[in-house]
Amino acid sequence: MRDVAVIGAGMIEFGELYEQSTDDMAEAAFLNALDDVDYGISPDEIDAGWLGTSNIAGDANSGLGLAHPTGQFEIPIMRVENACATGSSAFRAAVEAVRAGSADVALVLGVEKMHDSAEGLIANAALDQVWRGRGVTMPAFFGMRATRHMHEFGTTREQIAEVSVKNHENGSKYPYAHYQFTCDVEDVVQSPQVTYPLQLYDCCPVTDGAAATIIASEDVADNYTDDPIWAAGSGLSTDSLLRGNDSALVGFEATTQAANQAYDQANIGPEDIDVAEVHDCFTITELITYEDLGFCEKGEGGQFVEEGTVHLDGEKPVNPSGGLLAKGHPIGATGVAQINEIYEQLRGEAGAVQVGNDPQYGLQHNIGIGRNATGSVSCVNVLSRER
Amino acid sequence: MHEPPHWRDRPQNERLLARECRTCGYVSFPEHRRICKRCQDEVEWDEVRLQERGTVRSYVVQNRLPDEFETPLPLAVLDMPQETDGEPARVYGLFTETEPDDIEIGMVADADLRQLFDINGLPVHSFKFKLPRGER
Ligand SMILES: [Zn+2]
């Protein structure tokens, strides 16, 4: 098996992009990724593509959603959809194909328009199967773990709010983030109630966005850059709250499973991760994810964030980009953007949000909810500065 | 809205009929597959009835929902024991006639058969939860 490196990354500013179509956003992210390749790249050197999108806007049912805006015709393209782990799953699939030798240079493109049909999305989630889902919204799926985490471990409302404070602080320094404001714990707990115990500032915004990543095999990576960032390990798993394991009431076991796969493949442990971009669709999701990824012990997530360990200048910076809470969560683009952010961090190019610990290993994580929350999917990718 | 699924799921929704795996004891509800979610094998199943009283394992109170719903709307994940011995089924359930402040983890709640909504005039029945009589 060959080693695979990220050699280029492009994004657009996330936000309410009413004036842009899915294709507009995809095209811009692609052009930015081409521009980012150190020694340049010709579009015809790309020999495979993976498109991550949930197609919320009904704009792209196949690989054509990648081919049309980028001009990448006559090559194999697969569309990947895997709930909120769509973007990271697309990256994982592309890496595996290049590793196996079926392509040398591949494009991973994640794109989502959330704003054209936000009402439809919420209504669909709320009105479906009688027992499992009727009237159950996204914040409920996650809030359920918050209530239980507080009950079982004494996690406080204020500790959960700290995640939002940290990520908005980071997001205010990150140029691509949807929201650029800062807030304090008081603002979070005073914000409007969405689904107890989660309030407005505990929830990520509805955001459009696109991101593109270019990867290359070890055989050709040198043609493009002296500073490639290597795909060191990846994991993917699914699990269900309704399998009856009590641990699923306070965690997302799919994350632990995916992380262990990724750590094993990279031959490292959670203690080796220097920077992470994780799925903070809600504050509680990030807090629990510290535990699921092995960054701290089960039940200690509240203390972990309160003590500042995960802050930009902490020992284990998490979501220097501002995370989904500040940056937004355009489903297909989210994971690809996170890969790009880790790539920038490991190259030391993350500007105002560059972590200061000379990062060697970075981790990217998504968790997705499906089947009316009874099933969840998680994808974890580890990138490394050294091959 | 999908109509056939509501018809297929009537035994679960209207009679709390579940299935217990003979190999590992896992209770499948509301699903009724041939493969067990826990053993991951095709196994023998026994039909079992669930009690109409469950225990709240966690909950939320939904305040922002589409217009069809009255808010605040409490929602819980509950363990519903079998009428006989064995593991409970873990389910989601909406609450009705219950003050959000009255819900806590560990409390019991009773399942109450209700018409949840109708599809083209056909009523769909299932259970909602509420505090046991006498505690309200
Ligand atoms: Zn079984």
- A241 to B126: CB separation less than 8 angstroms, yes or no: no
pLDDT digits (tens, 9 = 90+) for B77-102: 999 999 999 999 998 888 999 999 99
pLDDT tier at A193, thresholds 50, 70, 90: very high
SS (H, E, C) A244-283: CCHHHHCCCHHHHHHHHHHHHHHCCCHHHCCEEECCCCEH
**Residues of B within an 8 Å Cβ radius of A:** 1-2, 5-6, 9, 12-13, 26-27, 30, 37-38, 57-66, 68-69, 72-73, 75, 77, 87, 90-94, 100, 105, 116, 124, 126
**Straight-line distance from the first to the last Cα atom of chain A, in angstroms, rounded to the nearest whole number:** 13
The residues facing B35 across adjacent strands are B42
What is the distance in angstroms between the Cα of B91 and the nearest Cα belonging to chain A? 7
State what percent of residues in chain A have pLDDT above 90. Answer: 86
Which residues 182-241 of A have a C-beta within 8 angstroms of B? 192-198, 240-241
pLDDT tier at B5, thresholds 50, 70, 90: low
Average pLDDT of chain A? Answer: 93
ipTM: 0.90
Distance CA A203, CA A206 (A): 9
Q: Where are the alpha helices (DSSP H) in A86-156?
A: 86-100, 118-126, 138-153
Tell me which chain B residues have a C-beta less than 8 angstroms from the C-beta of A138: none
Q: Which stretch of A48-57, A247-256, A360-369 has the lowest confidence by average pLDDT?
A: A48-57
pLDDT digits (tens, 9 = 90+) for A232-288: 999 999 998 888 899 999 999 999 999 999 999 999 999 999 999 999 999 999 999
Residue A102 has pLDDT above 60, yes or no: yes
What is the distance in angstroms between the Cα of B129 and the nearest Cα belonging to chain A? 12
Distance B81 CA to ligand 1 centre (A): 17
Distance A86 CA to ligand 1 centre (A): 30
* pTM of the predicted structure, to 2 decimals: 0.94
Scan for tokens 């020992």, then name that residue.
A315
Residue A122 has pLDDT above 50, yes or no: no
- A267 contacts chain B (CB < 8 A): no
Residue A133 has pLDDT above 60, yes or no: no
Strand A229-240: give its sheet, edge to edge. Answer: A77-80, A48-52, A105-112, A209-217, A4-11, A229-240, A375-384, A361-370, A275-277
Q: A-B interface: how many C-beta pairs under 8 angstroms?
A: 104
Q: pLDDT value at position A378?
A: 97
- A130 to B6: CB separation less than 8 angstroms, yes or no: yes
Residues A67-71, mean pLDDT to the nearest whole number: 94
Q: pLDDT value at position A143?
A: 94
Q: pLDDT value at position A118?
A: 44
Q: pLDDT value at position B136?
A: 57
- A249 to B62: CB separation less than 8 angstroms, yes or no: no
Q: pLDDT value at position B135?
A: 64
Is-catalytic flag, A329?
Answer: yes
Q: Which stretch of A30-34, A120-124, A139-143, B73-77 has the lowest confidence by average pLDDT?
A: A120-124
pLDDT tier at A336, thresholds 50, 70, 90: very high
